Structure 1
Amino acid sequence: MKRTGDSQAKAPLSALAARRLRQQRAATEPTSNGSSPAITPGAEADPTPVKQIANGSQTDDQLQRSPATGNATKEQATATTPLEPSSDSSPRQVSNFTQTGDNYVYNAGTEETTFKLRRGESIVIQGEYRVSVISGAITICGAVLDSSSSALDVVAPSTQALPTIECAPKSKKRKVDTRDGEYDAVFSVQSLQTGLSEVGRICPRFDRIWRPPVTTTTITGGKADSFTCLLSSPQPPTALTVPPSWQSTIANLSSSKGSPRSIFIVGAKSAGKSTFTRCLTNAITSHSPSRVVAYLDLDPGQPSFTPPCILSLHEVTSPIVAPSFAGPRSTELLRQHHTGYISPREDPKYYLRCAADLFREHRARAEREGEQATLIVNTCGWIKGMGRELLYELVQLCEPTDVVGLGDVDGVFTELLPAGSTARRHLPEAAGTGATAGNGSSNGSQPFTPADLRMLQTIAYFHSLPCTDSGSSNGPAAGFDFGRHLTAVPPLLAGYSGPGSVIHGLTVLDTHVARELLFTAVNATIVAINLVKADDADHPVNRYLTDAYPLDRNAGNEYEGENRNEDNGVAPYIASSDFDSTSSLIPAEDTMTIGLAILRGVDEEKGQVQLLTPVGEDELNAWVEKGYRVVLCRGRDEMPVWLMWDWRSGQQQKQQQRRGADGKRVPYLDFVVGGEVTGKGAKEWKVRRNIMRRGQRR
């Protein structure tokens, strides 16, 4: 086929593509009365109000949606787990909720949607929303909410399994309000705006995580709603359902009998450790307002609250219904350590010392404040070889009362728990066998790997804003600003030389760097902001700085000697090659990590570094005034290219260069005529594994 100048060859449509095209056109065409249906394929359909409720119990502002008409019947709406996607284009059920003129009401005045559920019905909602229980009790992600519970903020993108809202099981201990007629639970949902929905402006990879597939049958409320109720779809997103083995284990561990407990979670990769831990935490915190959970996160590759490469101890007082990149909405950070790696295999000694320090912090806090908090320890998925040895050391430190093993971990238990151990063993099934859980979407167009989620978590961290009061039970709302790219944000200027210096040391972990190449090694990288007490003469950092840069008592904080800053123009450099390991350089016991920063650039004439960090200027200065020294430490933290490259302006620049115009330079990237990027890092780095030929095998 020859292509003419004003026409292009079009590929033939498959039967599936043609059917989807007809569905999209049908969704945008008006009905016979000139209005769109209340239940529509796709979240973008415009809902139209129908008549008011006949009994007059609602105000004129309350608008009722017409009953659902389509393929879903009550008999078909009994499954709680969506079917796996297949090549068949028939819709798969997501929610078994059937909309009627009574169980779904949208109030245009308050922009609030009310749902009424019978026992056995479930609803899956994607997006950001605030849920409040009016009568009865519901369960979501292991948390049980009733009319006495405060509102709960939910953040549910398709990067994680979407939470399922159901009627809570009957319990003799829970007093349930009088039923609303034939319904067991009534709750309302309102829109929630955290700014996370704009993350696609920074990284287009995550542009559609807040919207369901176009062919999804949904219930839509107002045009400005930040959430969508999903009914069915040919390619349904994954919904979180808790299997019976999880439910029984969680009920046992969340019981108030035998408190306080120390619960140790073990499992291989993708076994559902984080999901199980979150459901367990929600069950404990929603059981009683006074119940507190000390959450010890020892997974640096996929942490629950912090950016990657960090181990942390948090205090949780209310349910967690948000992904890890949404920030610690209902938690208080007690202490954290930057390990510099996404796995403990690079520096297992320092990993154990950081974990031991967090254990000591938990015990000291419990003794100091007399809190009876349940300790939950979430570990990484390395359970073989050295990973099993690390687990054994962690068990000795933790001395757990209960150990939970997800999946096939019988052999692990045999080594971790000797015959005389008093710890109770729990063996629920792994996520892949019965729990629809995980970090990927079943929609074939949006598979997210652990590396993708680490990138998303890092991007969200550096675009986060200070917390504000949200009025919900799960703490202050963590806001995010994706309106400006980091390259347009004024950096924090921190001096590293002279009397007013703020940065007292800079090091690169596990790498020998010549002093004259220090800034080259750390420029455009992620560094940890560590604090060391200046009066701690025994700290290795203070001893090293005193020996390498003797203080001139007559010139404030300036250094004298052959390495003084005004002569060579570099910050006080701490060579990691002079220490045996990270533990010898930055001991966890006497070092605090307050956050991460991107070292954007260096002004050697003024002796300043440019930092992009959520840590505020006032906070950093306050630590210095308290007598702490700031040490920047570069590890192996992954730097997403989206943080240093505005792809929207980059597209414009490439078009300008194709036309021969001079475009604005993009930091750390070089373009040539034609739009091709050259230089180191211009192309994807493909690592060849140790693949051996058959003749080389022994």
Structure 2
Amino acid sequence: MSESPRKRLKTEQQEKKSVPMSAFAAFLSVEDHQNSFHALEDLQESTSDKEIQVICEPTIQDEESTSDRTQTSQNQPLPLQSSGNNISPIKEDPEVLVNRFYADVLGRSVHIENMQVSVTGLKTGDCLCLHGIYQLTCIKGSLEILGYHIDAQPGNQWHTVYAPSTHSLPVIITHETSSNHIYTEIYNELQNSGKISDLEMYDTLVGIRSLKSNLLNLQNVYPPARHIWGPQDRLPPSMNKFPCVPINTKTPPISIMLYPDSWKTIVDHVLSHVRKPSIQKVLICGPKSVGKSSFAKYLINRFVSSFQKSKAHFLDLDPGQPEFGPAGMISLHAISDAILGPPFSYPQSPNLIQAHDIGDTSPQDNPEHYVACVQGLYGITCTQNPLEIPLIINTLGWIKGQGVEILADLINSIEPTHIVYLGPQLEAMSSEIARLLLGDPRLVILTSASELNNLTYSSPTVSPSELRTLSTMSYFHSAPTPGVENCNFSPLVGHSPWIASYEGEFAGVDAIAIFGSIVDSDNVAMVINASIVAIVIYTPSDRTIWENGIVPTPEGLPYLNLHGQYLDPKNSQCIGYAIVRGINVKTKELELLSPIDPALLETEDDSKLILLRGKLELPVWAFLEGSSNIIAGRSWNDAPYLTTEPEKGAGSQFSKSRRNISRRSAGVDIY
């Protein structure tokens, strides 16, 4: 970064006269979906024929607020109203943020009123599973969650856990320990109140407390997220007087995260070789939905808890479901803290080293560019990685055809010390993946998490596309300061956009490019308006070639025609994503919505800022504003980008596959 960086954005709020202005809004759910908890106890791998005791804590409300909310929830969702530039953002309901927790787990828990902490006693080997958002600490003994080890200390810190039903719920497991340390403040309070006598027989004391989490407001902009933090059905008012209600049956579709012993064995082996003469590089591969990301998080959490104040390099190579940020990106991170939640609870990584935009959820259309980006990210680890920092590589779940060729290129480029394969036996898989991996001395075949957990518990029923929507919505509502608690879950239509000039000596945007496609300059404005674009910093190797490659569009946009090619990853990096909210043709300015820190846009004079349009689409929820006929203060017919009018003419309807009349010998579908 130069001493006098180039300013690319206007910081003063101005009156907007964009043409056209895209309307971004969402439904506002007025129901009070308080965060309830499930406590699943004594979960063992051998419990396929055993009933699971579930303790469910109902929401506690006063009668007046309950009746008010019941009456409101029976009405239609309230649409947002806006008129011109005076847009009224959603006011967060503080009650929606409250996450009350009081679990009396079979008489093992006590509640410290003045500290608002529930303390649960567990014996060595016991397990506890909670559903919702909560904070966790160890008061006495030792515990583990998602591979992260927590011992009791005099001044223990609290760890925030995000456990929605979209993913397998994390399990708190107790361990035997020789340490006599205790969390002094809470333990002394237990003694002073006389409640310690109820818990003295337990080896581990777990502290749980409520969290007024901002993430609960995600339902304001993405209504399907209303029920992911608790049961969909509320308990009748007559049962609210009970602190908990036992449910003595299994409770699908809840899924829990159990780790096979084989996972623990290979992780122990990797950790025992850290700080040896060679860097430990673990490449994780396998089909889709077998737990590759879960194993990567387990390994990372084990490392950061075993080697305090150390970092693990995480190379996330799955653009379809990345661990941090929206889809379409592959990235390198230096992680020093535990990961205790799903991807959408970490919308931005505070430890991002570098990233590249792939422009799609799969590299099938640009495998050479994808491999080149991977090699560029791996090259950074070779120059920055001390021996004590392991490298964990999470690959995509494409292991057929061209996907196997890509995996082979990754293995040859990275040269991992361990190749961890999760999924069905390789002998039963395609011949390509079997030929690639079988016989390799670095290969370790592990049981997939889905195989183990599906023996007793059902898997989450959320599709990959829905998970991508969750991550995308969480990302664009996040703040420059990392952390989901800093998100602003009011509709995007009420967010103040950046104003970036695209013309003149001090232009904020130097070029606009279309990823992997050839688009006529007359259509560029239409292609990028109301769409997701990657913000790319690019250093051209030849300034003359760069200047000659820029073609102005009729709107004056600086169009960089890549002729179907891609930016060289050696000279470029993606620093985040933005939504093109509008194009002001008169003032030659773009209105952008982005959660990244504006300081990242202040580049040196020889660097260029490019908005790169790929195949990523903005979720429909980002456009919606209630269920009425008004959107952003206009009727549906007058608002841009969305219409309820039926299409007419040839090609206006979806083509329907007529497989019932195709001949077997034809091998094609008839439309």
Shorter-chain TM band:
0.7 to 0.9
Is 1:355 equivalent to 2:332 in the alignment?
no
Question: Out of 573, 580, 589, which is 1:592 matched to?
Answer: 573
1:122 and 2:145 matched: no
* SS of equivalent to 2:519: coil
Change (3 A) 1:428 1:186: same
8 Å contact kept, 2:131–2:165: yes
1:140–1:412 Cα change, 3 Å: farther
Deviation of 1:596 (Å)? 0.4
Alignment pair present for 1:695 and 2:665: yes
Q: Is residue 2:136 matched to residue 1:131?
A: yes
More displaced 10-residue stretch of structure 1: 92-101 or 594-603: 92-101
SS in 2 for 1:503: coil
Partner of 1:80: 44
Deviation digits for residues 19-74 of structure 1, max 9, x if unmatched? xxxxxxxxxxxxxxxxxxxxxxx9789x9xxxxxxxxxxxxxxxxxxxx9xxx9xx
CA offsets per residue over residues 611-656 of structure 1, 9 Å max, x none? 1111243442x22x5642110110011210111222x2x43539x9
Change (3 A) 1:669 1:679: farther
Contact (CA 8 Å) 2:401, 2:432: kept in 1 or not?
Answer: no
Please say if residues 479 and 596 of structure 2, whose CA atoms lie closer than 8 Å, have aligned partners that are also in contact: no
* Counterpart among 458, 476, 490 of residue 472 in structure 2: 458
Equivalent residue for 1:431? 449
Q: Give the secondary structure class of the aligned counterpart of 2:321.
A: coil
Aligned counterparts of 1:122 and 1:182: Cα–Cα separation in 2:
16
Equivalent in the alignment of 1:146:
151
Looking at structure 1, the residues matched to 280 and 152 of structure 2 have their Cα atoms a distance apart, in angstroms, of: 29
Alignment of 1:260-275 (within 5 A): 260-275=279-294
Q: 2-side partners of 1:306 and 1:437: how far apart?
A: 32
Residues of 2 paired with 1:457 and 1:532: CA distance?
Answer: 26
Instruction: Give the letter aligned to residue 149 of structure 2.
Output: V
Aligned counterpart, 1:416: 436
Q: Which moved more, 1:505-514 or 1:233-242?
A: 233-242
- 1:637 is aligned to 616
1:288 Cα deviation after fit = 2.2
- For the 8 Å contact 2:215–2:485, the answer to whether it is kept is no
Query: In the alignment, is residue 202 of structure 1 matched against residue 175 of structure 2?
Result: no
Q: Give the aligned residue type for 2:174.
A: C
Counterparts of 1:614 and 1:130, CA distance in 2: 26
Unaligned 5+ segments in structure 2 are 1-32, 57-101, 183-195
In the alignment, does 2:253 pair up with 1:240?
no
Please, which of 664, 668, 684 is the counterpart of residue 641 of structure 2?
A: 668
Aligned in 2, Cα 1:120/1:464: closer, same or farther, shift over 3 Å?
same
In structure 2, do the counterparts of structure 1 residues 221 and 307 end up closer, same or farther at CA, with 3 Å as the change threshold? Answer: farther
How far did residue 147 of structure 1 move? 1.2
Query: Shift of residue 106 of structure 1?
Result: 1.9
Q: What amino acid maps onto 1:481 in structure 2?
A: N
Residues 461 and 614 in structure 1, CA contact (< 8 A), matched pair in contact too: yes
State the alpha-carbon separation in 1 of the partners of residues 512 and 118 from structure 2: 53
SS at match of 2:383: helix
Give 1:375's aligned residue.
Answer: 391
Distance in 2, Cα, partners of 1:100 & 1:228: 10
Report the secondary structure of 1:432's partner residue. Answer: helix
CA distance in 2, matches of 1:210, 1:338: 31
Q: Give, as a single letter, the amino acid of the residue that structure 1 aligns with 2:615.
A: R
Pick one of 398, 406, 426 that aligns with 1:390: 406
User: Alignment partner of 2:583: what SS?
Assistant: strand
- Candidates 575, 587, 592, aligned match of 1:606: 587
The higher-RCO structure (CA 8 Å, 6+ apart) is 2
- Offset at residue 334 of structure 1 (A): 0.5
Which residue is equivalent to 2:351?
A: 332
How far apart in 1 are the matches of 2:166 and 2:617?
19
Change (3 A) 1:529 1:334: same
Distance 1:392 1:437, change over 3 A: farther
Amino acid at match of 2:260: P
Deviations 1:257-302 (A, max 9, x none): 5643110111111111111111111111111204421000010101
Q: Distance in 2 between matches of 1:404 and 1:176?
A: 37
Structure 1 unmatched runs, 5+: 1-41, 48-67, 469-475, 550-562
Structure 2 CA distance for partners of 1:329 and 1:671, relative to 1, 3 Å: closer
Q: Is the 8 A contact 2:140 2:181 kept in 1?
A: yes
Paired with 2:262 and 2:293, the residues of 1 have a C-alpha distance of 16
3-state DSSP of counterpart to 2:354 = strand
Corresponding position of 1:471: none
With over 3 angstroms needed to count, the CA separation of the structure-2 counterparts of 1:78 and 1:165, relative to structure 1, is closer
Secondary structure in structure 1 of the residue aligned to 2:205: strand
The aligned residue for residue 651 of structure 1 is 628
For the residues of structure 2 that align with 1:127 and 1:229, how far apart are their CA atoms?
18
Of 321, 327, 336, the residue aligned with 1:317 is 336
Cα distance in structure 2, aligned partners of 1:237 and 1:511: 43
Which residue does 1:345 correspond to in 2? 364
1:527 Cα shift?
A: 0.5
Does structure 1 conserve the Cα–Cα contact (< 8 Å) formed by 2:404 and 2:433? no
Matched position secondary structure for 1:499: coil
Does the CA-based 8 Å contact 1:82-1:92 persist in structure 2? no
Could you tell me which residue of structure 2 aligns to residue 529 of structure 1? 535
- Answer yes or no: is 1:546 the counterpart of 2:547: yes
Cα gap change, 1:77 to 1:122, in 2 (>3 Å): closer
SS of the equivalent of 2:380 reads helix
Other-structure match for 1:555: none
TM, length-normalised to structure 1: 0.72
1:397-428 deviation line (CA, Å, top 9, x unaligned):
11111111112235667543586x6x532111
The 3 A distance-change label for structure 1 pair 254 and 683 is: farther
- CA change 1:91–1:288 in 2 (3 A) is same
Taking every aligned residue pair, what percent have the same amino acid on both sides? 26
Deviation at 1:142, TM superposition (A): 1.5
Distance in 1, matches of 2:334 and 2:162, equals 20
Counterpart-to-counterpart distance in 2, 1:384 and 1:231: 43
- Please tell me whether residue 251 in structure 1 is matched to residue 263 in structure 2: no
Residue 170 (structure 2) aligns with: 163
Provide the secondary structure at the position in 2 that maps to 1:433: helix
Q: Distance in 1 between matches of 2:641 and 2:392?
A: 42
